[in-house]
Amino acid sequence: MANPPLKGIVSYPVTPFDAVTGEVDLPALRSLTGDLVAAGSHAVAPLGSTGESAYLTDKEWDAVCETTLDTVAGRVPTLVGVSHWSTAGTVRRARVAARHGATAIMVLPQVYWKLTEDELARHYGEVARAADLPMMLYNNPGTSGVDLHPEAVVALARKIPNLTMVKESSGEVSRFRAIRELSDGELSVYNGSNPVALDAFRAGAVGWCTAAPCLVPEWVLALHAAAVGGHDDRADELLRELLPFLRFIVDHGLPRAVKAGLDLQNRPSGPPRPPLLPLPHDETARLRELLGRLRPDRLPPSAD
């Protein structure tokens, strides 16, 4: 795709909850979203797994969607995760996202039963027609239990004209190039696996979908700038420093880890919603140490 609607750092906010009532904390969401835009995120993507979308009621989901998009207010593109167990639920969310001005939507094959090729085509096709927005297919076998290989992704995209983007979170870097080549460059590919961020950019990914900017935006944006600017030594150095943190937040669960980090930064977003539990004390102490190493003033100097 010559001009994808999203590129660069696509930042994923958590969904804050009130620590006492457990209700969605919309003022905290506005603050976090505003911080992501002000920090220089190239796009904002609410209601993914980081945003605990699966644990929200329809009313809460709608409020988070509306609040996030209203806060962004068109300053950067937005990508709304609309996945639901059912096609009807996904269609409903896609229409809400479109109504509130989303730039694009993201759909994970979030299913209980493993879907056939025909079932996947129908599911994605109905969602695409309902919203009439650019759509990103999200392949994350670790959370969905479904692994769509490049050949299957490209075959599906050929049936659905507005399926123009793929978020690939398997961690297999070879898939970025394979998807681009098999689709003759028609599909834009985005990395969703934090530890392979740099390899993904070097393999042709046009964006990095990540929750890391909630806590260390300066480092994430510096890595992207170095990667796309061809400053290989600086990019390698930045990733070496970032990797322990990136691995930590993935290994400990993004909602738990990011919310604990926000609390450490005096930007409370409440606990994750049950059945998730807050990050344990020992792990929180480790996260404090990692964040201390990634203060903005500790960024390696640029060669420019």
Could you confirm whether 124 is annotated as catalytic? no
CA distance 105 to 287: 32
Catalytic residue among 138, 159, 190, 259: 138
Domain boundaries, the chain: 8-230
CA distance 157 to 22: 39
Where is pLDDT greater, at 268 or 112? 268
Q: Which residues pair with 104 in a beta bridge?
A: 79
CA distance 265 to 260: 9
The total number of residues written for the chain in this structure: 304
The answer to the question of whether 50 is labelled as a binding residue is yes
- 8-230 in CATH: which number? 3.20.20.70
Confidence (pLDDT) at 1? 46
pLDDT digits (tens, 9 = 90+) for 168-212: 999 899 999 999 999 999 999 999 999 999 999 999 999 999 999
Q: Which helix (H) or strand (E) holds 11?
A: strand 8-11
pLDDT digits (tens, 9 = 90+) for 25-60: 999 999 999 999 999 999 999 999 999 999 999 999
Could you confirm whether 138 is annotated as catalytic? yes
**Is the N-terminal amide bond of 150 cis, ω within 30° of 0?**
no
Catalytic residue among 7, 12, 124, 167: 167
**145 confidence band (pLDDT: 50, 70, 90):** low
pLDDT digits (tens, 9 = 90+) for 152-164: 999 999 999 999 9
CB atoms within 10 A of CB 282: 8
pTM above 0.85, yes or no: yes
